[in-house]
Structure 1
């Protein structure tokens, strides 16, 4: 089994002892991305729409750094601090995953790092 750590400055650095992603054989496991703007290091968007947009940009940056892409995502898990904001998150998500969307789970959680409203992790295949 091969194992390669993925790291890019185009997405926020890990906030703890974990990798942005791991490539193992032909699969990319992307750690949960929160809406930190990698340029500023801050969560700039206050609403779920803006935060979801940033999360998906971060997710895409890690996927590209791994040698994959949004089109190769096979599974996501979405964590929301308020499940009532799921429709707004889903609208943004649908714009990115509009063709052959991946399998997905979504959960309300008690709290997310940095008080984010949304976090998304993904599993993808390499290009």
Structure 2
């Protein structure tokens, strides 16, 4: 089964050698998405809601470029710099998964840059 890299328009420049996503069969694997704009600047410094919204919009762009929707997301791995941001992140997250939400986990982690408050990686299964 061939794997197809997915790098939709508007993707941030990668901080390392990776694709924004990869489709393999009906599965789409979305790399950990950080709050970075297409110009390389950090989005929403100090605002976990703005950063979460941007991250989920970028995940949505990868899933859409692969031929799916957010309803196809089966698993999310969520990394928060500060667990005190958990509720605020969840408020935005719920907007993107209003029906049957995917499986997920959320942990506190040091992220690549100090201004990053959230990172999310996803797996979708296209129908």
TM-score, normalised with respect to structure 1: 0.92
Q: Is contact 1:11-1:59 (8 Å) kept?
A: no
- Structure 2 Cα separation of the partners of residues 114 and 18 of structure 1: 17
Q: Is contact 2:43-2:54 (8 Å) kept?
A: no
SS of the residue corresponding to residue 104 of structure 1 reads strand
Q: Is contact 2:49-2:92 (8 Å) kept?
A: yes
- Structure 2 Cα separation of the partners of residues 14 and 64 of structure 1: 19
Unaligned stretches of 5+ residues in structure 1: none
Q: CA RMSD in A?
A: 1.2
Report deviation, 1:17. Answer: 0.9
Unaligned stretches of 5+ residues in structure 2: none
What's 1:3 paired with? 3
5 Å matches for 1:58-69? 58-69=58-69
1:85 aligns with 2:85: yes
Report deviation, 1:113. Answer: 2.1
- Structure 1 Cα separation of the partners of residues 30 and 93 of structure 2: 16
- Structure 1 Cα separation of the partners of residues 87 and 123 of structure 2: 23
SS of the residue corresponding to residue 113 of structure 1 reads coil
- Structure 2 Cα separation of the partners of residues 13 and 69 of structure 1: 23
Q: Is contact 1:80-1:119 (8 Å) kept?
A: yes
SS of the residue corresponding to residue 45 of structure 1 reads coil
Q: How many pairs were matched up?
A: 125
SS of the residue corresponding to residue 64 of structure 2 reads helix
Give the 4+ runs in structure 1 shifted more than 2 A.
none
Q: Is contact 1:13-1:20 (8 Å) kept?
A: no
- Structure 2 Cα separation of the partners of residues 114 and 57 of structure 1: 20
1:50 aligns with 2:50: yes
Q: Is contact 1:74-1:102 (8 Å) kept?
A: yes
